[in-house]
Structure formats: structure tokens, C-alpha cells
Structure 1
Amino acid sequence: MKQNLEGKLQPIQEKLWDINKSLYHNPELGDQEFESMAKLVAFLEEHQFTVEKGVVDRPTAFKAVYDSKADGPTIAYLAEYDALPGVGHGCGHNLIGTMSVGAGILLSKIIDDIGGRVVVFGTPAEETNGAKVPMTENGLFDDIDAAMIVHPAGESHESGDSLAMDAIQFDFRGKSSHAAASPEKGINALDAVIQLFNGINALRQHVTSDVRIHGVITEGGSAANVVPDKAVAQFYIRASNRNYLNEVVEKVKGIAYGASAMTGADVIIDNYELSYDNMITNQTLSKAFTHNLLKAGVEKVYKAKDTFGSIDMGNVSHIVPAIHPYIGFGVPDLVAHTKEFADLTITSKGYKMLGQGALSLAFTGYDLITDSNLLAEVKAEFQQKRE
């Protein structure tokens, strides 16, 4: 049956490749991916998927379903298609979207014979305000048995971990005054932001080594002779698991309130982007995918690499067994979020990757549907890690 899947790739690969190149040449930022979504949805509908657009109140999100009408597991593939400002598809989301859509279509071609259901989720804005977060919060994954995505990289790696992340904004409000003539009448909001940075720098010595805290001042005054009455700082705060991140965030908020008390400036604290949970890789599912990646022709798959980034796939992994592995261009020193990375997605290496990634995802979906023992092991590991 897997040979049957391989044979069904060729008739759709050229169309997938055309979509991939179109996304590359017409990059769209998060939550603005209207044309990208339309191309992916149209191809799914062409292959008899039932598509719901605008799910979770995100106009460029979608849920596409092919149901065999026979009992069996529900397998989900996640498509990303947002680009980066000034870079384009420097994270390869044009390939991610087409690989996942391709996998869904491939599996749909045999699912009537083996039972079950295949779902392709269109998940906008992974780079900023990931739609997978409200999707998990609104129950879209509650009836999913396993969720998968594969990400381009310099080399192929097994699915690993990611850091939980909160994006916190600190908005300090003081009182303006002439900085030379009557400084005593002013309350300096910028001083509060500077004390916030100083306090966070002192905190770094007293958190675990996995913690990452990095921020910028987005507003800090407009003229040197005017006491700034408003100053704003934005931070990403990350840690290896959600519970510890919550502790660190409370400490940082405490520093902000201290800075407020020291300077007299009021502070408003809120999240300026959605929070990402840490990725919990299902190792049983990961091993099955790695086996299929090799079967699809990838020569070498390395162990999971250390990462200090954050992905909204982490939120999915807290709800359902999930993996987020990497498929390589064969360029070990490749740096993501660069024009060089984007350009590789439309080369012969990208074409090969598209086919191998779609096949590997489809193979793994087939294994989960047809091997009840594998699915039971995947679910048992998931339950054990939740307890």
C-alpha cells in the first residue's frame, strides 16, 4: 500500500511545486495570507476535501477534511504559509504548506480502503501570533489522534523540544515636564523602563540556564529636553516548560511593579502576542516518522537538535500526540530567516524535499491507521507525559 502512495505522488507533485513557487514569489505576512490560503484550499477542494475557512475567527485559517466514512483514527497535518517581513519565505513555510497539503491528499487516496479520516489545518501567523493557539483552545484538536508537521532546515533532524514563550509588553505612564526648567514636576516613564531592564539583568543570575529573556524599547520619549511621559518595552520570555515560565514571568512582572514604585510611573502589563507552550515530542510517533523519512529517500536523520526558539506546535503537543521534525536541504551551515534559505525552497533541492516530506507524512499517517499497536503506544506515551 505504501508503494501505492508513492505512485500517487507524481500526479500531484507538479501542482504542489507550482503552488510552492507561487507562495515564494508572492510572500504574505501572518494573518494576511489570503492568496496563499486560497491556492492551498483550492487544491484540497479539487481533491474532494470539505473545507471550512476562517476558523477560530482567523480569516486565513482553514480546516479541510476528507472522511472515509469508515471507523478509524483521525490524522492531522498542519500547513503553515506565512512569510517574514523583508525576507519572504526565509523559514520555508511555502514548503511546509505544500508538504502538508500534499500528505493530506496522498493519504486521502487510500483512506477509503483503510478507514479513518484525514484533516489538514491551515495555521496562519506562526512567526508572530500563531493560529494553532486558539485552535487548541477552541477544541479543534479534540477529535484528532495524532498531529504532524515537518519543517525545512539545513539538515534532517528528529523532532525535539522547544521553549514555552510569553510575549509581554510593559507600558509605563508618567508625567511630562521641561527637563531643564522644571524636572521636579515630571515623572520619567523612560527611567522606569531602564529600571525594568536593570532588574531583569539582575534576575538572569537566578534563573535556570534554559531561560531566555530579550526585549526592546519601542517608545522612550521624543525630545531630550522633555521628561518622557510614556515609555514602552516589549519582551519575549522563554523557558523549557510552561510551569517554570509562569514563575519567571511573575518575577519579571514584580520587577516592573518595583520600577513603577521607584519612579512613580504607572505601569500596564499585557501580552502583545499569543503565548506558546513548550513542544512535547511524542517519541514513538517521532521514531515512526524517522523510519518513513529514510524510506522516502532521505539519507541521514540526525538526533534532535538543541533549540531555544518557540513554536505554536508546542500548544498542539499538549493536546494531542504530535511531532515537529526537520527535513534538510543538505546544507549544514544554513541559517534560517535569511534570503538564502528562502531561495533554496525553489531549487531542485526544494523540489526533492517537497516530495520526500509529503511522502513521509503520508506514510506515517498510513502506519497509524493500519497498525493499532503503534497508535496505542503513541497514545500511551502521550498520556504518561501528561500525568
Structure 2
Amino acid sequence: MKEIILNKIDEIKDEIIDLSMDIYNNPEIAMEEFESSKKLASYLRTKGFDVEEKLAGMDTAFRATKKNGEGPKIAICAEYDALPYGHACGHHLIGTMSCAAGIGLAEALSEYAGEIAVIGTPAEEIGEGKPYLIDHNIFQYYDLAMMIHPFAETCIEPTISTIGGYDFTFIGKTSHAGAKPFDGINALDALVSFYNNVSVLRQQLKDGTRIHGIVLEGGSVVNSIPEKAVMRYEVRSEDMKYYHEVVDKVVNCAKAAALATGCELKYGPFERVCLGLKKNTTLANVFRSVMGEFNIEEHDQQNGGSTDMGDVSYTIPAIHPMVKFVENGADAHTLEFMNASIKPFAYNMLINGAKAMAMTGLEVLKNPAIVEKMKQEFNNK
């Protein structure tokens, strides 16, 4: 069966690489991946999968399924949204790699009972896809989920941070900056004070915590006291409880700035909170047991990133290995990484990654008791 699966993935290798290049050359940002999702779903349909598009009412989500009786139910997550400047996070590789893994693993259903689903999850870059599908009870049906994310180095159980983003709006009062500045209430002053408060706060934060932001609005004309200023911050933490503590501290920084300047403060989330990754070493070790054959070698621990796969990991056992796909050491979300992600090394790892996931799934189908071990670990953490 192993040989059959690996041969199947080799058989479709050129198709998968061509599909990946097509998605790379036609990038679509989060929630607008209409063509990318359609191409992936259509391709899986040609391979005999039952495909449901607009999954749970989400326009660019899909689910492709093959089933044989009652056995382990395995979800393989596909991502395909781009950043505004292109596929600098390798999602063109993720989507097609997951399809190849699903197609290969489905060959095992001729011998083993179980269910294989490739789930197209949009909008990872803004954390909308997987949480939405969880809210609509899609992932709860499965026993486990997995995907591989291209990266500069390899880490099978990366530390993924909880992340959430918030907008802070300061409302003041405009007046002529030259004639009567004393009649105004300067919203930009409040924003600058807020920024400085947060900058001082960073010194006191635990390791593994990040606060990063941008100014969205700081006034419209230079000769008037700004009556409105807007700051956007994201907060990350490896510890979910501490994440909420830090958010409260940031809010207090904003309140202090508003009080000091006499401004009104309004604040709220601009994106949903994505949870950190809940590790499942049982499932990760299954992946480790097969990865060596496919030139995947673990390096140092990775941390600091965030993904909505974290939400999946708090719903069912899941893994999200970060695997070296580039030879130049470039980090994701850079142009250097984007350029390297279409090199021969990256496409060789695309096929190897698909094979490693398929072999991981095969071990689960062959040994359903692994599912219970995964769930036991999941429930005890």
C-alpha cells in the first residue's frame, strides 16, 4: 500500500506543480480566492473526490471527500490565500501539497476503512477561514487534522502564538492650529502618548510576547488640530492566559493617553483572535517516524508565528509542521521567500511533504488505536 500511495503522488507530480505555479502566478488575497479555490476543488473532483464548494456558506471554502466504511476520519487542510504583494507565505505550495497528500492517501481506502477529506480553508492571513468553519461544526466531525507549512527551517512542533488585533480611535476637537490651538483637543497627541506608553510597556513583557502596530490615521490637514487619530495594534503571546493580560495592559495604555489629553477613546477588534497551537506529540511522532525518508530533518525550535490552525488544534488533535522549503534561509512574508518558493528545491519539497503527510495518514488508517492515544493526549492538555 505504501508503494501504491507513493506511486500515485509521483504520477500526479507534474499536475500538482503546474497547479501550484498557476495559483502562484494568479494570487488572490484573503476572502477573494475565488479562482484558486475553484481550481483546487475542480482538480480534486477529477480525481474522484466528492466535492462540496462554498462550504458552510463560505464562498471560497470547500471540502473534498473519499470514504470507505467506518474508520479514522482524517482532515488535511489546504490554504491558498496570498498576501497583497503575492504568495510570500507559500500558500500556493500548501494548497497543492495537501491535495496531493489527500489523493495519494485515498488509495489506502481500497484496503483500510476510514475517511479522507481535503478541506479548503480560506483567509489564513487574516485568521478567518478555519475559525469560521469551526463555528459551523466542520472540523468537529474529524479525528485529526494536519498540514505542512513551508518555512526557512524545519520544526515539527513549532510554538505558535495566540494573536489578536485591535483598533484604537481617539476623538478630540479640531481648531485652527495657528490662531486658536488652545481651543482644540489634539487626538494625534493622544495617539503619540499611547504609542509611547506601549513602547515602555514592552520592556516589562514576558519572553514570547509581541506588540506591533501602525498608525492608520493622524489628521487630515497640517494647519488644524487633529480631531481624530487611529492606531492599530496586534498582540501575540505563546501563553493564551497571558495574552489576555497583555491586551488589558494595552487598553489601559490607551485609556491613560485619552485621559491625559482629554480625548474620547473607542476601541475594538479588527480581526478575530487566533489561538496558539495546542501540540499533539502523539500525532507529531507519527509524522516524525515517516519524514526521514522524504528528506525532512528537524532543526531548531521555531516560535513567534501565528495561524488559525491553532484554533483547529483546540478543536481536534492537529499538527502543523514547519518544513524547510527554501535554500536561501529567507523568512516567510518576504520577497526573497516568495522568489525561492518556485525554485526546484521548493517543488521537490512540495512532493516530499505530500508523501510525508500521506504516510502519516496511512499509519493512522493501519493503526486506529493511534486515534485514541491522540485524543487522550488532547483531552489531558
**What percent of counterpart residues are identical?**
38
Distance in 2 (alpha carbons) for counterparts of 1:85 and 1:108: 34
Distance in 2 (alpha carbons) for counterparts of 1:382 and 1:16: 33
Partner SS, residue 333 of structure 1? coil
Partner SS, residue 213 of structure 2? strand
Distance in 2 (alpha carbons) for counterparts of 1:56 and 1:233: 34
Conserved in 1, the CA contact under 8 Å of 2:165 and 2:234?
yes
Distance in 1 (alpha carbons) for counterparts of 2:244 and 2:191: 21
Partner SS, residue 211 of structure 2? strand
Partner of 2:109: 111
Partner of 1:75: 74
Conserved in 1, the CA contact under 8 Å of 2:326 and 2:337?
no
Distance in 1 (alpha carbons) for counterparts of 2:10 and 2:231: 51
| Further displaced range: 11-20 or 323-332 | 323-332
Distance in 2 (alpha carbons) for counterparts of 1:383 and 1:121: 24
- Kindly provide the CA deviation profile for residues 229-262 of structure 1, in whole angstroms up to 9, marking residues without a partner as x: 1100000111112221111111211222222222
Partner residue of 2:209 out of 201, 208, 211: 211
CA shift for structure 1 position 158: 1.4
Partner SS, residue 74 of structure 2? strand
CA shift for structure 1 position 22: 0.5
Conserved in 1, the CA contact under 8 Å of 2:190 and 2:260?
yes
| Further displaced range: 169-178 or 183-192 | 183-192
CA shift for structure 1 position 336: 1.9
Distance in 2 (alpha carbons) for counterparts of 1:330 and 1:195: 42
Distance in 1 (alpha carbons) for counterparts of 2:326 and 2:332: 14
Partner residue of 2:89 out of 67, 88, 91: 91
User: Which one-letter code corresponds to 2:82 in the other structure?
Assistant: A
Partner of 1:302: 299
Determine whether 1:142 maps to 2:140. Answer: yes
Conserved in 2, the CA contact under 8 Å of 1:294 and 1:301?
no
CA shift for structure 1 position 156: 2.7
- Kindly provide the CA deviation profile for residues 129-173 of structure 1, in whole angstroms up to 9, marking residues without a partner as x: 431121222221111111101011233321211110110100111
Partner of 1:379: 375
Partner of 1:228: 226
User: Which one-letter code corresponds to 2:16 in the other structure?
Assistant: L
User: Which one-letter code corresponds to 1:336 in the other structure?
Assistant: A
Could you tell me which runs of 5 or more consecutive residues in structure 2 were left unpaired when the two chains were aligned: none
- Kindly provide the CA deviation profile for residues 75-98 of structure 1, in whole angstroms up to 9, marking residues without a partner as x: 011111111222x21111111000
Partner of 2:29: 29
Q: TM-score scaled to structure 1, two decimals?
A: 0.94
CA shift for structure 1 position 201: 2.1
- Kindly provide the CA deviation profile for residues 181-236 of structure 1, in whole angstroms up to 9, marking residues without a partner as x: 12222111111111211221232233212211111111001222201111000001
Partner of 1:262: 260
CA shift for structure 1 position 330: 5.7
Aligned-residue CA RMSD (Å)? 1.6
Partner of 2:176: 178
Partner SS, residue 43 of structure 1? helix
CA shift for structure 1 position 64: 1.9
CA shift for structure 1 position 279: 0.9
User: Which one-letter code corresponds to 1:37 in the other structure?
Assistant: S
Determine whether 1:40 maps to 2:33. Answer: no
Partner SS, residue 111 of structure 2? helix
Q: TM-score scaled to structure 2, two decimals?
A: 0.95
Conserved in 1, the CA contact under 8 Å of 2:326 and 2:341?
no
Determine whether 1:346 maps to 2:345. Answer: no
CA shift for structure 1 position 348: 2.0
Distance in 2 (alpha carbons) for counterparts of 1:299 and 1:53: 33
The number of residues matched between the two structures is 381
CA shift for structure 1 position 56: 4.4
Distance in 1 (alpha carbons) for counterparts of 2:215 and 2:13: 46
- Kindly provide the CA deviation profile for residues 82-117 of structure 1, in whole angstroms up to 9, marking residues without a partner as x: 11222x211111110001011111122221421111
Partner SS, residue 155 of structure 1? coil
Partner of 2:164: 166
Conserved in 1, the CA contact under 8 Å of 2:51 and 2:62?
yes
Query: Taking structure 1 as reference, are residues 83 and 330 closer, same or farther at Cα in structure 2, changes over 3 Å only?
Result: closer
Conserved in 2, the CA contact under 8 Å of 1:24 and 1:342?
no
Conserved in 2, the CA contact under 8 Å of 1:167 and 1:271?
yes
Partner SS, residue 109 of structure 1? helix
Partner of 1:292: 290
Distance in 1 (alpha carbons) for counterparts of 2:213 and 2:343: 36
CA shift for structure 1 position 347: 2.5
Distance in 2 (alpha carbons) for counterparts of 1:371 and 1:302: 28
- Kindly provide the CA deviation profile for residues 335-358 of structure 1, in whole angstroms up to 9, marking residues without a partner as x: 222333223333321221121111
Distance in 1 (alpha carbons) for counterparts of 2:186 and 2:324: 50
CA shift for structure 1 position 364: 0.8
Partner residue of 1:366 out of 362, 368, 381: 362
Distance in 1 (alpha carbons) for counterparts of 2:208 and 2:20: 35
Conserved in 2, the CA contact under 8 Å of 1:241 and 1:277?
no
| Further displaced range: 325-334 or 171-180 | 325-334
| Further displaced range: 254-263 or 328-337 | 328-337
CA shift for structure 1 position 299: 5.3
Distance in 2 (alpha carbons) for counterparts of 1:246 and 1:320: 23
Q: What are the equivalent positions in structure 2 for 1:52-63 lying under 5 Å apart? A: 52-63=52-63
